[in-house]
A and B are shown apart, each in its own frame.
Chain A
Amino acid sequence: MTIQILIADDHPVVRSGLMALLNSQPDFEVVAAAENGETAVSLSLAHTPDVILMDLQMPVLDGLAAIRQIRARQPEARIIVLTTYDTDADILPALKAGATGYLLKDVPPEALFDAVQSAARGEVAYAPQVAAKITRRLINTPAQTLSSREVEVLELASQGNSNKAIASKLHITEATVKSHFVHIFTKLGVEDRTSAVTIALKRKIIRLT
């Protein structure tokens, strides 16, 4: 069975290079190529390819948004990110959006072929350095515990201090106090300071003085 592939990349040379490379394989067929995320979404709907190779940085609609839109309408879509970027800030959102693979553009052709075949079988395919980052992420789950500065900020809030008063007591700007609150809210899973103080008191993270 031929594996039908959709390519999305804003660079024409990359697109034609990938097309030639993939079409050189007897069991691959590039059925469509998109120059931006928006076209990728509509071509994916039109062709229902087995595997999509998606660049991240593209005009009109970027790869991340395109992955989300495609997965929303075609939950079975197998999308491999093919990009130059391998920072955590690129990898994690792409995987959360539903990418099933993540390759870097320096990938050797054989590894790209293997990844396309794995993706078509419904397996994941990560570049080795990406897999290493994901593994590390799994082992060190991000601390949901508050830092001592965050506890300090929350304690001052529980004593009725405004952001301005907290800022002045800690010799920092209100802007930074607000940033601390954003992180406190995320870690505690709340949306406002009253709930944050309530939960922190309940969990004995802070005490009423």
Chain B
Amino acid sequence: MRPQRLEGASLVESIEGVAARWSAENRVRVETAVTGSPHPLDESIETALLRITQEALHNIKKHAQARDVNITLSYMPDLLALDIADNGQGFNKSRQNGRGFGLKTMRERTEELGGTLTIESELGKGTAVAVSLPIAEEI
């Protein structure tokens, strides 16, 4: 999966683009929200976040049977969080039903950047994945 990044596009625009294409292909509603004050980050961070978004959407398509997906980018003073939540079938965290692989790549990408990946899910209640990465305090 190559990141489908438009030259000169911001991270928010790139994620919105990926989300819109995925939404049209899979007929699943996707809403993207941004909180805090967005600002450009290191290219390596932005590329990783875009890839993680694609991987998360790919997982949702393969496993979740979701009708709605919410992507939220939260710019905090020293932290960036990317949350991808679906309202699909969810899973029991002790039995991951072969979902391990996609999550493993996402976790590796996140940890390479010193961040953490959190997965929250309950059977029947959807799945939410969060990537949180330290970013330099804005001055």
Contact = CB atoms under 8 A, between A and B. Distances in A.
Interface of A: 87-89, 92, 133, 136-137, 140, 142, 147-149, 167, 170-176, 179-180, 183
Interface of chain B: mostly helix, strand, loop or mixed: strand
Contacts of A180: 74, 76
Interface string B100-139: 0000000000000000101010000000111010001111
A180 B35 CA distance: 11
A140 to B, nearest CB: 7
Given A167-B128, A172-B83, A173-B130, A88 B137 contact: yes
B139 A173 contact: no
Contacts of A148: 35
A129 to B, nearest CB: 12
Interface of B: 31, 35-37, 70, 72, 74, 76-77, 79, 81, 83, 85, 116, 118, 120, 128-130, 132, 136-139
B118 A140 contact: no
Contacts of B74: 149, 172, 176, 179-180
Contact of A172 (B76, B77, B85, B116): B85
A175 to B, nearest CB: 4
B36 A176 contact: no
A173 B120 contact: yes
Contacts of A183: 76-77, 79
A57 B83 CA distance: 33
Given A147-B36, A171-B70, A176 B139 contact: no
Given A149-B35, A179-B76, A183-B77, 4 more contacts: A149-B36, A173-B85, A173-B120, A183-B79
A164 to B, nearest CB: 9
